[in-house]
Chain A
Amino acid sequence: MKVRVRFFAAPREALGRGEIEQELPTGSTVGELMDLLTEEYPVLRSYASFINIAVNRKYATPEIELHEGDEVACVPPVGGG
């Protein structure tokens, strides 16, 4: 299955793009997607420990299961205001 992964702020700059489409096995979890991404894009490794993940615009935990077409976002520490 495929999911859309969006990047913002520092990880977006490090990766050099704001979005990728990631192929992964059906039934994969958020945690498994992150492992896959850091393996494929080593530049993301330094951000992995403090990044939050959102699935379909809601904060998600690593054990959440992903589905075809989900919109996943890497959310580094926020700084609005």
Chain B
Amino acid sequence: MYPLWEGDKTAGWRVDKHVTGKESVKLFEITTEKLSVDDVVARLANPAIGAVIVFVGVVRGNTEGREVRFLEYEAYPEMAEETLRQIGQEICARWKTIQEVAIVHRVGRLQVGEVSVVIALSAAHRPEVFDAVHYAIDRLKEIVPIWKKELWVNGAEWRSER
């Protein structure tokens, strides 16, 4: 996968992180497709970056002692993508070292062990990226209109940590 910008489909480097909506790659996306961590990281391609931090959410096989058969994720996709973009803007405003943010969340039926969300942040240098990625996942769980239904052997429930 290195160099990161190999195969970059954009006409030029994205030098202004605040110019959103002009990228030819989608940085904030709700998709029914299987997620690839490499694909999401590649969306950050820019020769100015020196560090990328990635959070990968994976479907866990049990909750509170119950065995999970699979999960059904549902989203309000238009608003979810807008709130993901809002989180990206909040992060860039708060941590000046963060160059770019990409967050892709999968919806539909997901099996145990499959990737549900990939959050990737790039920076010129590594300080603060850990705080920023922590903020990103907490904020996602707080405001992004995505819902998770756990289906067990003997029942099902919509789950929220709120």
Contacts and interface: CB of A to CB of B under 8 A. Distances in A.
Contacts of A10: 147, 158
Given A8-B75, A9-B149, A81-B148, 6 more contacts: A10-B147, A54-B79, A57-B79, A77-B162, A80-B80, A80-B144
A75 interface: yes
Contacts of A31: none
B76 interface: yes
Contacts, number: 70
Interface residues of B, number: 28
B135 to A, nearest CB: 13
Contacts of B160: 76-79
Contacts of A58: 79
Interface of B: 57, 73-76, 78-80, 82, 105, 116-117, 137, 140-149, 158-162
**What interface size band does chain A fall in?**
10 to 19
B82 A80 contact: no
